[in-house]
Structure 1
Amino acid sequence: MASPSSSSTVVSHRVFTLHTSSLGRRFLFVKPKLPITRTNSEDIRMRLHSTPRRIVSKELIPSCNSSIEAGSKIFEKLVATILICVHVWTPLPLFGLDSAYISPAEAVLYSPDTKVPRSGQLALRRAIPANPNMKTIQASLEDISYLLRIPQRKPYGTMESNVKKALKVAVEDKDSILASIPADLRDKGSELYASLIDGKGGLEALLKSIKNQDPDKVSIGLASSLDTVAELELLQASGLSFLLPEQYKNYPRLAGRGTVEIIIEKGDGSTFSAESGGDQRKSATIQIVIDGYSAPLTAGNFAKLVTSGAYDGAKLNTVNQAVITEDGSSKVDSVSVPLELMPSGQFEPLYRTPLSVQDGELPVLPLSVYGAVAMAHSENSEEYSSPYQFFFYLYDKRNSGLGGLSFDEGQFSVFGYTTSGKDLLGQIKTGDIIKSAKLIEGQDRLILPTQNNNNNIIST
Structure 2
Amino acid sequence: MASTLLSIPSANRISAVPSSSSCVRGCRRQCLPDRVYLRFPCVSSRAPSSNAVADMQVSSSIPTSSLFLHVTKQLQKAVSVAAIVVQILSPLPLGSSGASLIPNADAVLYSPDTKVPRTAELALRKAIPANSAMKSIQEPLENISYLLRIPQRKPYGTMEGDVKKALKAASNEKESILNSLPADQKERGLAVYASLMDGKGGLQDLIQSIKENDPDKISVNLSSSLDMVAELELLQAPGLSFLLPDQYLNYPRLTGRGMVEFILEKGDDSKFSTAAGGEQKGVATIQVALDGYSAPLTAGNFAKLVLDGAYDGIKLKSVNQAVISDNERANYGFSAPLEIMPSGQFEPLYRTMLDVQDGELPILPLSVYGAIAMAHSPDSDEYSSASQFFIYLYDRRSAGLGGLSFDEGQFSVFGYVTAGREILSQLKTGDMIRSAKLLQGQDRLILPVSSN
Give matches, 1:222-371, under 5 Å. Answer: 222-327=222-327, 329-330=329-330, 332-371=331-370
Relative to structure 1, the CA distance from residue 444 to residue 213 in structure 2 (aligned partners, 3 Å threshold; closer, same or farther) is: same
Partners of 2:422 and 2:298 in 1: CA distance: 25
Q: Which moved more, 1:79-88 or 1:107-116?
A: 107-116
- TM superposition score normalised by structure 2: 0.84
Give matches, 1:143-154, under 5 Å. Answer: 143-154=143-154
Give matches, 1:34-113, under 5 Å. Answer: 39=48, 43=53, 45-46=55-56, 50=59, 54=63, 69=64, 73=67, 75-76=68-69, 78-90=71-83, 109-111=109-111
SS in 2 for 1:391: strand
Residue 388 in structure 1 maps to residue 398 in structure 2: no
Counterpart of 1:425?
Answer: 424
Counterpart of 2:155?
Answer: 155
Counterpart of 1:437?
Answer: 436
Partners of 2:130 and 2:112 in 1: CA distance: 29
Q: How many Å apart are 1:284 and its aligned residue?
A: 1.4
Counterpart of 1:22?
Answer: 11
Q: Which amino acid aligns with 1:87?
A: S
Contact 1:121 1:419 (C-alpha < 8 Å) held by counterparts: yes
Q: How many Å apart are 1:17 and its aligned residue?
A: 7.5
Residue 413 in structure 1 maps to residue 412 in structure 2: yes
Give matches, 1:165-176, under 5 Å. Answer: 165-176=165-176
Q: How many Å apart are 1:39 and its aligned residue?
A: 4.2
Relative to structure 1, the CA distance from residue 44 to residue 342 in structure 2 (aligned partners, 3 Å threshold; closer, same or farther) is: farther
Q: Which amino acid aligns with 2:11?
A: S
Q: Which amino acid aligns with 1:88?
A: V
SS in 1 for 2:224: helix
Partners of 1:422 and 1:78 in 2: CA distance: 51
Relative to structure 1, the CA distance from residue 238 to residue 27 in structure 2 (aligned partners, 3 Å threshold; closer, same or farther) is: farther
Q: Which amino acid aligns with 2:371?
A: A
Partners of 2:158 and 2:6 in 1: CA distance: 48
SS in 1 for 2:251: coil
Task: Mark the structure with the bigger radius of gyration.
Answer: 1
Q: Which amino acid aligns with 1:401?
A: G
SS in 1 for 2:391: strand
Contact 2:6 2:407 (C-alpha < 8 Å) held by counterparts: no
- TM superposition score normalised by structure 1: 0.82
Contact 1:260 1:439 (C-alpha < 8 Å) held by counterparts: yes
Relative to structure 1, the CA distance from residue 53 to residue 171 in structure 2 (aligned partners, 3 Å threshold; closer, same or farther) is: farther
Contact 2:108 2:400 (C-alpha < 8 Å) held by counterparts: no
Contact 1:112 1:402 (C-alpha < 8 Å) held by counterparts: no
Partners of 1:79 and 1:344 in 2: CA distance: 39
Relative to structure 1, the CA distance from residue 248 to residue 21 in structure 2 (aligned partners, 3 Å threshold; closer, same or farther) is: closer
Counterpart of 1:207?
Answer: 207
SS in 1 for 2:443: helix
* Identity score, percent: 62
Deviation per residue, 1:102-140 (Å, 9 max, x gap)? xxxx99751386211001110000000011111121110
SS in 2 for 1:427: coil
Relative to structure 1, the CA distance from residue 413 to residue 254 in structure 2 (aligned partners, 3 Å threshold; closer, same or farther) is: same
RMSD across aligned C-alpha pairs, in angstroms?
A: 2.7
Relative to structure 1, the CA distance from residue 182 to residue 107 in structure 2 (aligned partners, 3 Å threshold; closer, same or farther) is: farther
Contact 2:112 2:356 (C-alpha < 8 Å) held by counterparts: no
Deviation per residue, 1:391-411 (Å, 9 max, x gap)? 000111111111111111111
Partners of 2:10 and 2:203 in 1: CA distance: 55
Q: Which amino acid aligns with 1:422?
A: R
Q: Which moved more, 1:82-91 or 1:154-163?
A: 82-91
Relative to structure 1, the CA distance from residue 306 to residue 345 in structure 2 (aligned partners, 3 Å threshold; closer, same or farther) is: same
Q: Which moved more, 1:301-310 or 1:263-272?
A: 263-272
Gaps of 5+ in 1: 1-11, 55-68, 92-105, 456-460
Relative to structure 1, the CA distance from residue 217 to residue 264 in structure 2 (aligned partners, 3 Å threshold; closer, same or farther) is: same
Deviation per residue, 1:131-190 (Å, 9 max, x gap)? 111112111001111111222221111111111111111000111111111111011111
Partners of 2:3 and 2:304 in 1: CA distance: 37
Kindly tell me the number of residue pairs found equivalent between the two proteins: 409
Q: Which amino acid aligns with 1:275?
A: A
Partners of 1:151 and 1:328 in 2: CA distance: 45
SS in 1 for 2:417: strand
